[in-house]
Amino acid sequence: MLRRTLLALAVIATPAAAAEAQEVNIYNARHYDSDAALYERFTRETGIRVRIIQGDADQLMARIQSEGRNSPADVFITVDATRLARATQAGILQPYAIPAVDARVPADRRDPNGLWFAITMRGRVIMYDKQDGRPEGLNRYEDLADPRFRGQICVRASNHPYNVGLATSILAADGVAATEAWARGISANLARPPQGGDRDQFRAIPSGQCKIAIANTYYLGHVGASQRPEDRAVFERIGVIFPNQAPGDRGTHVNVSGAGLVTTAPNAANARRLLEFLVSDEAQEILAQGNMEYPSVPGAPIHPILRTFGEFRAEPIAPLLDADRAAEALRIMQRAGWR
């Protein structure tokens, strides 16, 4: 049964709010406390109350479909391009048609048909032990399959959306045969069976369980911001490689959070105001600074901890927007023994 939490952010008393009670309903698969400050700011500035229905992305999509025209959902927000592709395929989004969004968010971070756009990004990177130095010959995701790294890699389960997204990127760039060879190479190079989340992968480096980890920058950033001495010690040990950065290469794979306007939105005008707010300078700063994510708007402030990782060029998200390709990528990984 769908578990959900309804969070109603109170309207701050303003003349506009007193004159007309307004609201916007977000079906939200993000689960970060820092986002509450974002919606509070929007309410303060507009008088529009934000109601949040929290849940798993697939469950929320199914709920919107089952509610049909009676759905209160105005905005759908989730993490991961493959989920956004499924939302597009399910027909639950309509064009947002907001010129300010298209002007501020680069085309390669938006749905080509204007159904959703990225609000934040995280790089899926390669991590290593600074004390051992950067592993020689490790510059691309494809290099992870090299036998020289046998028994060295820690990564979470293949069926997690982060890894499905990465494998989808490999599949789009290299084709079926090369992707299967890559997945078999990853499986052969694992230091241990996949287990835990992204933090567990790079935490295993200082303890000697592995030499290389695949994880999102967001998680390392949070460990770096911790006041716990043991977290700081881990952070100081971990180096970051942004893969596929050579001229002509496709760039580092990114995991995006995206937002779109629900097809049956009962408060479409308010929803468009919220969507436009999400790409404003203040909203992008709250999102990036509060949750260790990269902003989707170029030039928006980046958290100082993320700056220590260095600059990188992100790959376009278009290759990830094929739900069938993502399903094939998962089958390839599991067929190759990556569990």
The domain ranges of the chain are 5-121+255-303, 122-251+316-335
Question: Which pLDDT does position 9 carry in this prediction?
Answer: 41
pLDDT tens for each residue of 151-190: 999 999 999 989 999 999 999 999 999 999 999 999 999 9
Crossing angle of helices 217-225 and 229-237, in 10° steps, is 140
pTM over 0.85? The answer is yes
DSSP state for residue 246 in the 8-state scheme: S
DSSP state for residue 129 in the 8-state scheme: E
User: What percentage of residues in the chain have a pLDDT greater than 90?
Assistant: 85
Average pLDDT over residues 254-275: 96
Dihedral Cα 124, 295, 305, 231, nearest 10 deg: -60
Using alpha carbons, select from 13, 33, 122, 77 the residue that is nearest to residue 277: 77
Question: Which pLDDT does position 3 carry in this prediction?
Answer: 39
* Range from 5-9, 41-45, 118-122, 284-288 carrying the lowest mean pLDDT: 5-9
Distance CA 272, CA 279 (A): 11
Same fold yes or no, 5-121+255-303 and 122-251+316-335: yes
Is 147 buried (19+), middle (13-18) or exposed (0-12) by CB count in 10 A? exposed
Is 314:161 a contact under the CB 8 Å cutoff?
Answer: no
Does residue 132 carry a pLDDT above 70? yes
| CATH number, domain 5-121+255-303, options 3.40.50.300, 3.10.105.10, 3.40.190.10, 1.10.10.10 | 3.40.190.10
Is 215:198 a contact under the CB 8 Å cutoff?
Answer: yes
Q: With cut-offs at 50, 70 and 90, classify the pLDDT of residue 319.
A: confident
CA 210 vs CA 1, 118, 268, 305: distances in Å = 38, 33, 50, 24
What is the dotted CATH code of the domain comprising 122-251+316-335?
3.40.190.10
Alpha helices in the chain (DSSP H): 15-19, 35-46, 57-67, 81-90, 99-104, 161-174, 176-189, 198-203, 217-225, 229-237, 268-278, 281-291, 304-307, 323-335
User: What percentage of residues in the chain have a pLDDT greater than 70?
Assistant: 94
Here the tokens at position 219 are 């998680």
